[in-house]
Amino acid sequence: MTKYLLRRLLGAVPLVLGIATIVFFAVNLAPGDPTLYFLSPGMTQEVVEQTRINFGLDQPVHVRYARWLGAMLTGDFGYSFSHSRPVLDVLADFLPNTLLLSACALGVAFFFGILVGTYQAVRQYSLSDSAFSVVLLFFYSMPSFWLALMLILTLSLFARNVWEWPIWFPASGMTSTEYDFLSFGGQVRDRIAHLVLPTLSLALVLTAGIARYMRGSMLEVIRQDYVRTARAKGLSERVVVFKHALRNALLPIITLVGLYIPVLFGGTVFIETIFAWPGMGRTIVEAINTRDYPLVMAGSFFFASMVVAANLIADVLYAVVDPRIRYE
């Protein structure tokens, strides 16, 4: 198993470097000059040139590439023009926020997806099975940003102003403006309250897909002989379903972990923008717009690495859940 992991890790290195190279050239060869972003009336050509030199943009592309690659290997990701800070600082600020949101969304999605899918399989053809299918199809078809806006309108605006519910959620931000003055318990509650809407926007779409897969997988597993054996041993239906059947049905779901993580990162851009979540997705898009090369490249590099890592984790999970794979 360790050999297997090592091999995968080594294989990942050229993969990530290759992605980084492609990103570098794609960004640097795109039209648009970052110095123009800072232009204003009255700036003479000399000043523009000076700015360009200040940002190190006067060198030819391949020289810049070599310098960037070399610096990166020593952990120096350069300086972000648009944030006026080292790139690593910028990433350190925003990456955890995106990871938090993604982890919560994944957690919620897998938890409810597995639960609902299992329930549907066990109660196949019942009314609730069909009802769930309809509801899930609805969420599956929704673009996450539309869902986000709808959630804001219903659970934030209408809930407070129109229906006057006792609970309503804030429409944006990670914390409220009074966060620093709250007690510890208050702070935890504040954070959770701010997490609800963005997490739901991301998770609901994923939940639908996972439930669908889970249902199919579970239906197949439930027909298996070993499930019948388990029943014949006198085990309660709950143990049969949640111990014997579930673990086997989870195997294809684990594939989804590796698949959904990049999907999630893509989706976070919209969600982060709509909910004013200070995350990596938004930051990278803005960096692209302002041609902040160092930040774009570092951000893409990190995203690619995380996708590779996610797939690696999925492989490990496989081995954990299915002993047959361990001994191959």
Partner 1 sequence: MTQHEAAGAAKSAAKSAAKSAASSAATAAANSAAPSAAQSAARSAANSAAQSTEVEPLLAVRDLRAWFLTDQGVAKAVDGISFAVREGETLGIVGESGCGKTVTSLAILGLLPNPPARLMDGSSVSFRGQELVGAEEKRLRALRGNEISMIFQEPMSSLNPVFTVGDQIAETLRLHRRMDRKAAHGEAVRLLDEVGIPEPGRRVDEYPHQLSGGMRQRVMIAMAIACAPKLLIADEPTTALDVTIQAQILELLAELRRAHGMAVMLITHDLGVVAEVCDRVIVMYAGQIVESGTVEDIFVRPAHPYTRGLLASLPSVGTPGRRLASIPGTVPSPLHWPEGCRFRARCPSAGEGCERAQELVALGDGRAARCWRVGT
Partner 2 sequence: MKKVLAIAAGSVLAACGGGDSTEVSGDPFCQAVLPRVAAYMEQARSQHPTPSDPRYGGTVVIGSIGEVADGLNSAISADHSSTQHQQFVGLMTLVNYDAQLNAQPYLAESWEISEDGRAITFHIRQDVYWHDGERTDANDVAFTYEVVTDPLTAFPNAAFWDHYVKEPEGVEVIDDFTVRISLEPHSEFLDPFRTLGILPEHLLRDVPHDQLAQHPFGEQCPVGNGPFVFVEHRSQDRWVFEANPAFPAALGGRPFVDRYVYRIIPEQTTLLTELLTENIDVYLAPRPDQAQQILDDPNLELLAYTFRNYVFVGWNSRKPQLSDARVRRAITMATNREEIVQAILLGYGTVANSGVPPFHWAYDDENVPTLAYDPTAARALLDEAGWRDRDGDGVRESADGTRLSFSIKYNTGNQQRQDVAEIMQAQLAQVGIEARPQVVEWATLLQQINTPTLRDFDGVVMGWVTEFKLNDMDLFHSARIDQPYAWVGTHNPEIDRLLEQLSVTVDREEAKEVWREYQAAIVEEQPYTYFYFPDRLDGVNRRVRGAVMDARGEWLNIKDWYIDPASR
Kindly tell me which of 11 and 25 has the beta carbon lying closer to partner 2: 25
Amino acid, res. 250? L
Minimum distance, C-beta of residue 4 to partner 1, in the bound complex (Å):
18
Q: Is 143 in the site for partner 2 (CB under 8 A)?
A: no
Contacts (Cβ under 8 Å, ≥6 apart) of 81: 34, 37, 55, 290, 292, 293, 294, 295
Asked whether 80 and 86 are in contact (CB, 8 A), the reply is yes
Kindly tell me which of 6 and 30 has the beta carbon lying closer to partner 2: 30
Q: Which of residues 160-219 bind partner 2 (CB under 8 A)?
A: 160-161, 168, 170-178, 187-188, 191-192, 195
Minimum distance, C-beta of residue 67 to partner 1, in the bound complex (Å):
51
Asked whether 308 and 18 are in contact (CB, 8 A), the reply is no
- The token duo for 80 is 């972000």
Q: Where are the beta strands (DSSP E) in the chain?
A: 79-80, 85-86
- The token duo for 119 is 């329930």
Q: DSSP secondary-structure letter at 172? A: S
Q: Which does 321 bind (CB under 5 to 8 A by kind): partner 2, partner 1, none?
A: partner 1
Say how many residues make up the chain: 328
Residue 79 pairs with which residues in a beta bridge? 86
Task: Name the nearest CA neighbour of 220 among 292, 85, 118, 93.
Answer: 118
Minimum distance, C-beta of residue 54 to partner 2, in the bound complex (Å):
6
Binding span for partner 2 by CB under 8 A among 69-77, 132-140, 207-215, 289-297: 289-297
Asked whether 87 and 80 are in contact (CB, 8 A), the reply is yes
Q: Which does 229 bind (CB under 5 to 8 A by kind): partner 2, partner 1, none?
A: partner 1
Residues near partner 1 (CB under 8 A) are 224-226, 228-236, 244, 247-248, 321-324, 327
Q: Is 2 in the site for partner 2 (CB under 8 A)?
A: no
Q: Is 310 in the site for partner 2 (CB under 8 A)?
A: no
Q: Which of residues 100-129 bind partner 2 (CB under 8 A)?
A: 100, 103-104, 106-108, 110-111, 114-115
Minimum distance, C-beta of residue 314 to partner 2, in the bound complex (Å):
14
